[in-house]
Amino acid sequence: MDSEGYTSNYQTRPLKRGSRWKNFLLHAVLILYSAIVAYPMLWLLLASLKSSRELFESPWGLPSPPQWGNFAKAWVEAGIGRYFLNSVFVTVVSMFFILLIGSMAAYALARFAFPGRGVIQSAFTSGMMFPVFLGIVPLFLLLRNLGMWDNYFGLITAYVAYSLSFTVFILTGFFKQLPNELAEAGLIDGCSHFAVFRKIMLPLAKPGLITAGIFNFFGIWNEYPLALVIIATDSLRTLPLGIANLLMVQHYETDWGALFAGLVIVMLPTLIVYLIFQRQITERLTAGALKG
Amino acid sequence: MIRRDKHLAIAVFLGPAMVLYAGFFALPMAQAFYVALFRWRGVSLDRQFVGFENFCKLLTNDPVFWQCLMHNLAFLVVSLVVTIPLALFFASVLSGRLHGSQTYRAVFLFPNVISIVAVAALWSFVYHPTFGILNSFLKSIGLERYTTGWLGEPKTALPCVIATSIWYSLGFYIVLLLAGVQSIPRSFYEAAWIDGAGGWQSFRYVTIPLVWEILKLAIVYLIIHTINIFGLVWVMTEGGPNFHTETLLTYLYRQAFVQSNFGYATALGVVVFVIIFGITVIANRLMKRETVEY
């Protein structure tokens, strides 16, 4: 906001008397907003350890004693455990195919010149403009007709198809940066095109695969609308679907502690992945912004 | 030999992606423009070609559609007025050499990576009439008369959901704009300072023009995100009470998968697509302005 922040480390400018106060004020604002972000989640964590009675009687207090049983109840009785394992399965399998199929396509688009390449590339890129909901009814009817509705085969196929646009776009950029000479050298040494891809180019594109993987992880682990339309059977529900359902049904029941515990279980994997890859995530957003 | 090899490789590498993308993404998207022309109820073959009837009905004879559009516009306008200035402010502050700016940035971005369902559930609890922290906070500071049912009240439901969506997305826009602010050379601010510019002036005449391209991008993202709102509303209120928070996509979902009006719902999908496309083009035109090269 103020030029102060940019120059305070430079000797070109004497420190003004007011700047200490200004710094203090800026920190106060930043801490206030951090509290607005973090407080609801801390409250959730505390609430997940309270009994229903405590929740109503002392909404601000610490849980005493902590009801660890809420987590066991959420995992077993509310079905969160099954939803969790379903989500792990769907996310892992979808990501495997997205990265495999996406990197193969991106490699072909980045490395080979052939007629129609530009058209195919822009067909993939322009897919990012289309809202999920535009094609949702035709997709639903298509999956029904093919016997792919209400099963993981259909859900994972839809996830892969919907993620390709973004994934191919990102990975093509990465493969284009790799020197072509390496691939040529591999071919001269007698490698097949597939061996060049798998043994030479794919390992080099690892940073790209990690970036695409992170964003696809968040996209699929958190995905809600497609799962809502494609999955109907309770035992097949993914975590977001299960939580949404519990919440909507729970309007009439009252095991709040278990529901709070369930929410903590949903957020935990995202928090862990976020903490590990925070740098890559902000870098990617930044790069996307600067390239326009 | 090598040539044939190459063509085979291209086909093998590109084939699976193209088949899946064409069959399960592009085809449904294209079919939407066709399905929208039918009166089509249920999954049966009971369908009838009606031309533009669905569109006519939607635009001229469906008050709920216009209500939804107004709600989405409310999301858009409030987000524009609140999110963009706040994001620009925080981006400017965090781009300075403040202690802990990495940590602040990480905290601010976190809501954006949580499942929208979890965000919706979390905030349903914040607004909960009996044990929600909002009401108990109001009680603790002596404003008990302002406690209410929040998501259950027609007057407060929409503002509450909009506030949640801002909480969810602000971090994303901060990080986006931060990229722009950080790329401005420090010497520009020094030059402005030497010329006698104060804090506000250097913000107005250095920061804004130099982040204009990214600001434009942020506004286009905001438009797309606010028109595409679904999960947050569906989980928090299901469009209620009495359609007071219904948005274009919750209405589309209701038409398609609660009432089985496939043709009508798809026509709505086409309209939403056209709206997003139209607003994006108009916004780009309006914001056309010399980009400052440096």
Q: Do A135 and B179 touch (CB under 8 A)?
A: no
> Which of B2, B10, B19 to mutate: most A Cβ within 10 Å?
B10
Chain A residue whose CA is closest to B194: A13
Interacting residues of A133 by C-beta distance below 8 A, sequence separation 6+: A225, B228, B230, B249, B252, B253, B269, B272
Q: Do B25 and A197 touch (CB under 8 A)?
A: no
Question: Tokens 């790799």, residue?
Answer: A178
The answer to whether A208 and A222 have CB atoms below 8 angstroms apart is no
3-state secondary structure of B141: coil
Cα angle value B203/B204/B210 (rounded, 5°): 80
- ipTM for the predicted complex comes to 0.89
Grade residue A11 by pLDDT with cuts at 50, 70 and 90: very low
Q: Do B133 and A40 touch (CB under 8 A)?
A: yes
Q: Do A37 and B118 touch (CB under 8 A)?
A: no
pLDDT for residue A171:
93
Q: In the predicted model, what is the mean pLDDT of residues A264-280?
A: 88
The β-bridge partners of B39 are: B48
> For B93, which of A30, A194, A222 is closest by C-beta distance?
A30
Q: How far is B186 from chain A (nearest CA, A)?
A: 7
Q: How far is B5 from chain A (nearest CA, A)?
A: 8
> For A136, which of B109, B117, B256 is closest by C-beta distance?
B256
pLDDT for residue A278:
85
What is the average pLDDT value for chain B, to the nearest integer?
A: 88
The percentage of chain B sitting over the pLDDT mark of 70, rounded to a whole number, equals 95
> For A289, which of B179, B238, B277 is closest by C-beta distance?
B179
Grade residue A227 by pLDDT with cuts at 50, 70 and 90: very high
Q: Do A104 and B16 touch (CB under 8 A)?
A: yes
3-state secondary structure of A85: helix
pLDDT digits (tens, 9 = 90+) for B2-51: 566 788 889 999 999 999 999 999 999 999 999 899 888 866 667 888 88
> Which of B113, B208, B234 to mutate: most A Cβ within 10 Å?
B113
pLDDT for residue A288:
64
Q: Do B92 and A123 touch (CB under 8 A)?
A: no
Better-scored residue on pLDDT, A84 or A289: A84
Grade residue B1 by pLDDT with cuts at 50, 70 and 90: very low
pLDDT digits (tens, 9 = 90+) for B136-160: 888 888 888 888 888 888 889 999 9
pLDDT for residue A250:
62
pLDDT of B216 over the 80 cut: yes
pLDDT for residue A2:
42
Grade residue B81 by pLDDT with cuts at 50, 70 and 90: very high
Ranking A115-124, B20-29, B197-206 by mean pLDDT, the lowest is: B197-206
pLDDT for residue B274:
94
Q: In the predicted model, what is the mean pLDDT of residues A206-213?
A: 90
Chain B residue whose CA is closest to A241: B117
pLDDT of A140 over the 90 cut: yes
* Set of chain A residues whose Cβ sits within 8 Å of the Cβ of B254: none
* Set of chain A residues whose Cβ sits within 8 Å of the Cβ of B249: 133
pLDDT digits (tens, 9 = 90+) for B221-272: 898 899 999 999 999 998 878 899 999 999 999 999 999 899 999 999 999 9
pLDDT of B61 over the 70 cut: yes
pLDDT for residue A7:
42
* Set of chain A residues whose Cβ sits within 8 Å of the Cβ of B253: 133, 225, 228
Interacting residues of B8 by C-beta distance below 8 A, sequence separation 6+: A193
* Angle formed by the axes of helices B154-182 and B116-126, nearest 10°: 130
Q: Do B231 and A9 touch (CB under 8 A)?
A: no
* Set of chain A residues whose Cβ sits within 8 Å of the Cβ of B235: 224, 244, 247-248
Q: In the predicted model, what is the mean pLDDT of residues B206-217?
A: 85
pLDDT for residue B159:
95
Q: Do B25 and A161 touch (CB under 8 A)?
A: yes
Grade residue A6 by pLDDT with cuts at 50, 70 and 90: very low
* Set of chain A residues whose Cβ sits within 8 Å of the Cβ of B277: 129
Domains and CATH numbers, chain A: 73-291 (1.10.3720.10)
Looking at CATH, the fold of the domain delimited by B36-286 is given as MetI-like fold (1.10.3720)
Ranking A184-193, A225-234, B40-49, B120-129 by mean pLDDT, the lowest is: B40-49
pLDDT of A3 over the 60 cut: no
Please state, in angstroms and as integers, the Cα–Cα distance from residue A280 to each residue in A108, A210, A214, B236, following that order: 25, 9, 9, 31
3-state secondary structure of A231: coil
Q: In the predicted model, what is the mean pLDDT of residues A33-47?
A: 90
